[in-house]
Each structure stands twice: as structure tokens, then as C-alpha cells.
Structure 1
Amino acid sequence: MGDIDTCAVMFKYPSGLLAMVDTSRDAAYGYDQRVEAFGERGMVSAKNELTSTVELATASGHLTPCAQWSFPQRYAKAYAIELAEFIQMLRAGSESDAHKKEQEMMQRHPRLIRTTVAAELSWHLNRTVRLDEVDGLVATDAVSAEKETIISTAPPQESDLRGAAPSSEEDRVLRTYRDIHRLQTVEGVKAMRAAFRKLDKAVTSIEEMICFLDTVVDESDPDEGLPRSFFAYQLAESMMSAYLLADREKLAFQPKGVPIESLFSAAELRELPAVAQSMYAGKTLATLYPHVEDWSWLPLTALMHDLGKVCMHETFGALPQWSIVGDTFVVGCDFDPANVFAGRDFYSQNPDSKVQGLQGKLGMYSSQCGFDNVLLSFGHNEYLATVLEGHAQDVAESTERPPRTLPREAVYLIRYQSFQPWHSPPQGQARGYAHLASEEDWRMLPLLKALHKSSAGARTTALPPIGEQHAFYGKLLSDYFLTQLRW
């Protein structure tokens, strides 16, 4: 069932009140369900109902009966009352006061279960979770608790964010992209690349940075809600489930026979250039990338994909949102119509839009020069790719080598994952910046498509038990990173 059978949850309130809930439905001494709350003015507790009132006291101590074993035993009266009320409502009809009152109570249900959502998140994330962190993550309608544990929605389309009366969330996203498009310039990108290439902000592990990721907020993300580390594990599991045959114990991964063409829509396939159509025809991940024998890096890359966002934290420079988050675009040439919010024309306020040598479709570049030879707006992707390249250089200069090393495909995936106008343009738009793409970029495109497709549905992905999850990803990380990384 994926349920947690035994748990203890502690609540701490602003007033100083502390509460503890202990529950286990398979404890050796019966069905355990206890509550205790205490503060400076007193306390209240609810203990287990026992199978009898008999207690034996001897020199050896006290022996008491077991707790009543199950829901039917402990809550028989509650069941009878619920059934009686249900029958009463059926007889009264849907227009009755009793039915309306029940509907009002059902509307409260999502609010009531937020404590269980917060508790489960705390278990997965291994940290305290505030109740306000899960506000909005549970449904506002009366739906089953099984479906309510974590409710996620797909990011809104650009058209959804262009309404006449935007909400504060939509306002935030639009404002962030306005600043990105106005302020990211050629000279600014060069300066940021030079500054962060020094890797002098910290020396720490990937695991520590995954935890650190929860301290930052991405204001360009309409779906910002769950802690980012939680989504990182969901995306890793989603990628592994969709594309790999995995032996988790042996850390052995082979790609499934997913056709490359299935990663594209029918319209996208029709518009692919001949070189790409020929490259993808009849291919799978295994046959398009035959040199890749070990695919364990794919879920690992998904797990790490957002770590560069930590540079918004004061420890790493407290960079503003516009310099780190959001979809990336090419600076040094015309702003492509495939960019998000291109219709808003924010880029017309960018100083580069007035520079003669930076205008036109090619701008400062040559046709099919390849994305590794152009400047993208600076962001968390470039930062993390730089960290990984720096670590690879450190390993090359060291006498101690890890069992596994990240292939070029992994770093490419990190660097270009937010290059949305290229890998996943808006419906009805031609693929952005295709005139700058090299044959290598077309070869790598299916990996970006796979990551994007997994990301779109990852928020509904169930995670394994926390102990199993930490053991699996901990071993995977240790295979790739023997030492801490420079950031």
C-alpha cells in the first residue's frame, strides 16, 4: 500500500505548545494510537484503549493488557454512528440541511490532512516541515485522501499567464522573466562566467547541496511549492522508471527500447531537418548512444539538475533571481520568438537589442556553430555544469579515481536543460535557434526531450521508503564523487 505503519510526529506551535502523536497498527502490544500535548498552562493526553481493565502488579513490576488490536475493535461505536448518519443523509436527499452540512465538513478535509502531508514530507526530507509549506499542496475539493497526499498540477501555459488580471503568483513569474529578458546581456554573461569559473564559494558534497537547495525559491517557476530536494528525487525516479531497466541493488542500468521518435510530437517530427530525421529513424537510446555502456548517470543527473540554484543564497553570492533562474536564451543575436513571453517584448529594453553587431538572426555567431560556441543567458545550469567540469579536472589530476565518471552527455544535459526554446518550444512555434545548432546538438536533443518529458510528470511520482532511497542514491553518488566538490 505504500503506507507508513509506525511513526511518531512532533508538532511545535508558535505559542510554545508541544504535541506528540504516536501511532502503529502492527506493534507487538496492539494497535497503538496516543496523543499528548503540553504547554505552560497544562497538558492533555489520549491513551490507548486496552482489551481489559485487569492489571497485575508484583515485585517484578506491572503487567497491563494489550491495546485493542484494530479499527473495528477500537472504533466500533464510531463506525455505527457514521453508518447511521450516512443512511440518514440518503433518506433526507441531496437538498436537505444534513447533506449541506456534510458538504461543508468535507470542504474542511484538505485543511485537516495537511498535518499528515507535512509529516510525510518531513520523513522524506529528513527535516522539520512547517505547515505553511504544504498550504496549497492539498486539494480544495472533497476528494479521497489517497489522491490528496500530494496534489500537483502541470506548469501553466504561457497563455495562462497572460490574463487580464494575473494572480500574485502569475505576477511573480512574469516579473521575473521581464527582468531576465531586460538584464541578461553579452557582457554580463561573460562577467558571470568568469566569476563563477573560480569555484571559490564552498567545498562540499552533492548530498549537502541537495539539502541546501531547499533554502532557495525559484520565482520563475509557476509550480514552486514542494521543497526542491523532494522534486529532485521525484525526477530521478521518474527518469529511471521511464527510460531504464534498473537493478537497484547492483546499480546496473540499461536503457529500455524507447523509440527516439516517441520523444517528439508528430508536428515536431515533421519539422525536423533531414540530418535529424535520418539520425533518429529506428533508433532507441541504446542505439543512438552506443558508446554509453553505463547509464547510472541518467537518474543522478536528474537528481542534481537544480543544484546550481544555490547561488541565490548569500553563502554563494546572493545573486538576484533574474541572473540564475528561468528558461535560458542566446545572447548576442535576435531574441527568438520561441522564447517564453517573447510576445511581451521585454527584450526591446535590453541594451544589447540596440547594439549593431548583436542584431540579426546570427548576430555575433556563424550558422550551425553549435551551442557550445554561443553564449546563453547565465543561470544555474551553467554554474552546475562548471562545477562538474571543475570536479572532472580535479579527478584527472588526482591519483584516486572514482569507480564511475560522468559522460559528456550528463554535463550537456545539465548545461542545456533550461534551453526551452530549443528543446521544447511552445506549441505552434518553430524550434528556437535551430540555425545555430550543430550536428552534435541534434544528437543530444533526445536526451533533453527525455528530461523535459519526465519533469512534466515527475510531481506525481511516488518515492521509495526513505531508508532505501538514501541508501540507493548515497551509493550512486559515492561511485561518482569520491571527494567533495568545489563550488
Structure 2
Amino acid sequence: MEKTFRNYEAVDVKAAVKEHYRKMRKNQTVEYVRSMHDKYLNFDKPMPLFEAMAHLNKLIDVSDPDLDLPNVQHLIQSAEAIREDNRPDWMQLTGLIHDLGKVMFMWGSDEDGTSQDEQWGTVGDVFVVGCALPDSCVYPEFNKLNPDMQDPRYNTTTGIYEEGCGLDNLTLAWGHDEYLYRVLANHKENKLPPEAMVMIRYHSFYPWHSGGSYKELLNDKDEEYLQIIKDFNRYDLYTKSQKIYDLEDVIDYYKPIADKYLGTGPIYW
């Protein structure tokens, strides 16, 4: 029987998944996201790439209804599937690192949802803050819990944005995508192509790339982004399985690729 992914209404979905999204929708406001930018975008914590990956052996993504393995397993599964399809080496590396922003749990706190126990500021499908929340969000019944939806500055279709401004000019809910994107954008040795950066930044933005929302805010470039994300998503979503890898067994293959695109020095988180 073919496995079904992202079925949030299945009877066996953990209550923790639904509770995660309730907290995320309630707490991820414009003010909160700005505070997370102030907290995390200082790039003052040097850590080598594969050390960061090893830390994800300790983290299970509470928002994922499909997989209950440490997150490093999902990264390796994605990368190996991309490699098996003989896709470019930069895309293989992107598969390997696309969730590495979750390493913020190392410096996180329960209060702001970036810890190991409270992950509503780290993982899960993201949405735009500063405009109306669409029904394409997971568990849309939680949208009304967001205080911004009572604020006339933020609760209209376009909110604080100009119509047609494009994805790159929107502020998304805080999480691992935006964190890793900003870390790599700040990383002087980063030679990943623009397509890789799009995959990293927007892969969790399901209300847009799968739900078809935010049409009023999109521009022509975002259609290209959509094709990039749909290509990547085949490997991000449909490679999840219970197969276990050892990070040490794949480092010899991926490290030269990482050195090629990200250099040999530490990354500043």
C-alpha cells in the first residue's frame, strides 16, 4: 500500500503535533518574529557544518506526522535520494543541509519555542506574518488565536505588504528555513547557487507552494521559485522512511562537496 504523507487528520497523528501547531499559530506574530531576528541573526556562534549535523541526532521534529526519527536521518535520506537520481552535487548538498537551521535548539529556550521541548518557533509549516492567515494553513481553526488577526494593520489580504511585492519581500513565521537561509547568506564562503537558497528558504512554506495562497503578493519570479520548490519537495517529503543511516558513513562522500560550496572553515550561526 502506498504511504500517505502529511495526513494531519489521521487517527494516529500524535496530539503533540496538533498542540504544536496551536502554539505556533497563537504565538508567531509580527512582534515575535522581529524579536527572533534580533535574537538569532547575530552570527556569533562558530560551528563546523558536520558538527551541526551531528547535533540533529538529538532532535526529533515534533511537527512531522510522518517520521519519528532524529532529524539527521531525514537529511541523509533526502540527500541520498537526490544522489541516487544523479542530480547536481549542489542539490545533493542542499538536501543534506536543508533542515540544519533546527540546530538553533542548541541556543533556544522553552519561552520562545526554540528549545528541544518547545519547537513552535523552530519547525512546522510557515506562513506570512503581517497579513491575513489563509485557510490553507494546517489546522486553520487555530488562525483566530493569533493576536495579529485582531489588528487592522495585519488582518487584511495584503496587510503590511504591497500587492505583487514578491516572496523575497515578505516576512515569514520564524523557523529553521529562514534561520539557515540567513546564516548562509551571511557566510562569506557560500557558493551555493540561487536555486539552492530558494529550496532552503521556502521548503516549509506549504500554504504558498502547496496551498496556492498569497496570490495577491506574488510576482513573476515566484513562479520560477514554485517550480524549484516542487522539484525539491519530491526529495524532502517522499523520501521519508524508517531506514537508518550513520552520519559517519556518508561524510566521506559529502564533505568534499560541502568544502566546494561552503568552504572549509566554520559557519557562524
When normalised by structure 1's length, the TM-score is 0.50
Instruction: Tell me which amino acid in the other structure corresponds to 2:108.
Output: G
Structure 2 residue 102 is matched with structure 1 residue 306: no
Distance 1:312 1:486 in 2: 15
Structure 2 residue 129 is matched with structure 1 residue 331: yes
Distance 2:85 2:125 in 1: 24
Instruction: Tell me which amino acid in the other structure corresponds to 2:64.
Output: D
Of residues 363, 366, 370, the one that matches 2:166 is 370
Distance 1:347 1:468 in 2: 43
1:145 corresponds to: none
Q: Secondary structure at the match of 2:158?
A: coil
- Contact 1:365/1:374, CA 8 A, preserved across alignment: yes
- 1:50-449 maps to which residues of 2 (within 5 A)? 153-160=3-10, 167=12, 169-200=13-44, 202-242=45-85, 244=87, 295-313=88-106, 316-318=107-109, 319=114, 320-342=118-140, 344=141, 346-392=142-188, 395=189, 405-425=191-211, 431-449=212-230
Give unpaired runs (5+ residues) of structure 1: 1-151, 245-294, 396-403, 426-430
Could you say if the C-alpha distance between residues 447 and 471 of structure 1 is closer, same or farther in structure 2, counting changes exceeding 3 Å? same
Instruction: Tell me which amino acid in the other structure corresponds to 1:335.
Output: L
Instruction: Tell me which amino acid in the other structure corresponds to 1:424.
Output: S
Q: Secondary structure at the match of 1:459?
A: coil
Per the TM alignment, residue 461 of structure 1 is displaced from its structure 2 partner at its CA by 9.4
Instruction: Tell me which amino acid in the other structure corresponds to 1:372.
Output: D
Distance 2:82 2:24 in 1: 29
Higher strand share: 1
Distance 1:458 1:470 in 2: 19
Per the TM alignment, residue 156 of structure 1 is displaced from its structure 2 partner at its CA by 4.2
- Contact 2:60/2:69, CA 8 A, preserved across alignment: no
Identity, in percent, stands at: 32
Could you say if the C-alpha distance between residues 158 and 222 of structure 1 is closer, same or farther in structure 2, counting changes exceeding 3 Å? closer
2:255 corresponds to: 474
Distance 1:241 1:447 in 2: 19
Could you say if the C-alpha distance between residues 224 and 465 of structure 1 is closer, same or farther in structure 2, counting changes exceeding 3 Å? closer
- Contact 2:59/2:70, CA 8 A, preserved across alignment: no
Q: Secondary structure at the match of 1:159?
A: coil
Per the TM alignment, residue 199 of structure 1 is displaced from its structure 2 partner at its CA by 1.4
Per the TM alignment, residue 462 of structure 1 is displaced from its structure 2 partner at its CA by 7.2
1:16 corresponds to: none
Distance 1:472 1:154 in 2: 31
Distance 1:369 1:417 in 2: 20
- Contact 2:100/2:176, CA 8 A, preserved across alignment: yes
When normalised by structure 2's length, the TM-score is 0.89
- Contact 1:368/1:435, CA 8 A, preserved across alignment: yes
Q: Secondary structure at the match of 1:375?
A: coil
Distance 1:353 1:363 in 2: 10
Structure 2 residue 266 is matched with structure 1 residue 484: yes
- Contact 2:73/2:245, CA 8 A, preserved across alignment: no
- Contact 2:29/2:147, CA 8 A, preserved across alignment: yes
Computing the radius of gyration over CA atoms, which structure comes out larger, 1 or 2? 1
Q: Secondary structure at the match of 1:189?
A: helix
Instruction: Tell me which amino acid in the other structure corresponds to 1:347.
Output: N
Matched length: 260
- Contact 1:237/1:461, CA 8 A, preserved across alignment: no
Distance 1:364 1:466 in 2: 43
Q: Secondary structure at the match of 2:92?
A: helix
Give unpaired runs (5+ residues) of structure 2: none
Could you say if the C-alpha distance between residues 211 and 467 of structure 1 is closer, same or farther in structure 2, counting changes exceeding 3 Å? closer
Per the TM alignment, residue 240 of structure 1 is displaced from its structure 2 partner at its CA by 3.0
Distance 2:172 2:203 in 1: 12
Distance 1:228 1:153 in 2: 19
Q: Secondary structure at the match of 2:240?
A: helix
Distance 2:33 2:245 in 1: 40
Per the TM alignment, residue 226 of structure 1 is displaced from its structure 2 partner at its CA by 2.2
Per the TM alignment, residue 467 of structure 1 is displaced from its structure 2 partner at its CA by 7.2
- Contact 1:305/1:414, CA 8 A, preserved across alignment: yes
Per the TM alignment, residue 243 of structure 1 is displaced from its structure 2 partner at its CA by 6.2
Could you say if the C-alpha distance between residues 366 and 470 of structure 1 is closer, same or farther in structure 2, counting changes exceeding 3 Å? same
Could you say if the C-alpha distance between residues 455 and 208 of structure 1 is closer, same or farther in structure 2, counting changes exceeding 3 Å? same
- Contact 1:234/1:461, CA 8 A, preserved across alignment: no
